[in-house]
Amino acid sequence: MKQLAVLGILAVLIVLGVKCAPGQHDEGGHNGSHHLLEQLKYISVDSLNYEFSRFDQVDKEKLVQIHQLVEGAEQFLIPDRMAEMKSYPCSNCHSKSLEALQAGKAPGEKKSHWDIEIVHAKTVTMQCTTCHDPKNFNLLHSLTGAPIEFNHSYELCGQCHSTQQKDWLGGAHGKQVGGWAPPRVSQTCTGCHNPHKPAFEKRLPARLNTEWLK
């Protein structure tokens, strides 16, 4: 009698054990939302030797390396903006500091760059000299006055837009340049956003699907 009871309990336990064993729920990809992502964690790729790189699509000479080091990426390159800017260096026109320039202006005389409208935060927060160095127009500067080159303006933007900067360094924000293979080449902030008016503008879509209207 006693033996039978023990056997019975054992049998029940075995059946339960089999039913509840971990890993038995997995029925070929139907176990929720992260199956492929789960698998990715365990796939290790030993060699990634592509026959191509982003340098096939973009000229290496027109790129510069960013200052931050990104984990995993040996290189993180952005377009060389200073080489593209038409009237750089700014000191070609503006040889004096802002103070001296303003002092020398006749009453009512037009300011330089009067046509630039700033739609970027409120004026109590930002003005021209928040980003531009009033003493040296060839440079930008940080909130504490440290010089920043035009090529590395992301250091300036990242002071406020830190989440965007994190996404950009990781790869979720900012347009990929030159393809998908290494090395990392991305647009920098000012490649897509006008720093004086950073929001994307409204416009008509690129096409109208007339055939679908019938």
Interacting residues with another protein (CB under 8 A): 28-30, 32-33, 35-37, 40, 43, 45-54, 56-57, 72-73, 163-164, 167, 170-176, 179-182, 184, 187, 192, 200, 202-213
Q: How far apart are CA 91 and CA 84, in angstroms?
A: 16
Residue 184, number of CB atoms within 10 A of its CB? 20
Q: Which amino acid is at 162?
A: S
Residue 110 or 203 with smaller CB distance to another protein: 203
CB 50, min distance to another protein, A: 6
CB 19, min distance to another protein, A: 22
CB 117, min distance to another protein, A: 20
CB 91, min distance to another protein, A: 32
Residue 174, number of CB atoms within 10 A of its CB? 21
3-state secondary structure at position 123? coil
Cβ-Cβ contacts under 8 Å for 182 (sequence gap 6 or more):
48, 50, 53, 54, 73, 74, 75
Which strand ranges, in their side-by-side order, compose the sheet holding 76-79?
63-65, 76-79, 184-185
Using an 8 Å Cβ cutoff, are 183 and 66 in contact?
A: no
In the beta sheet, which residues pair with residue 132? 140
CB 56, min distance to another protein, A: 6
Burial of 205 (0-12, 13-18, 19+ CB in 10 A): exposed
In the beta sheet, which residues pair with residue 140? 132, 148
Residue 96 or 175 with smaller CB distance to another protein: 175
Residue 129 or 162 with smaller CB distance to another protein: 162
Using an 8 Å Cβ cutoff, are 82 and 153 in contact?
A: no
Residue 56 or 99 with smaller CB distance to another protein: 56
CB 85, min distance to another protein, A: 20
Residue 113 or 175 with smaller CB distance to another protein: 175
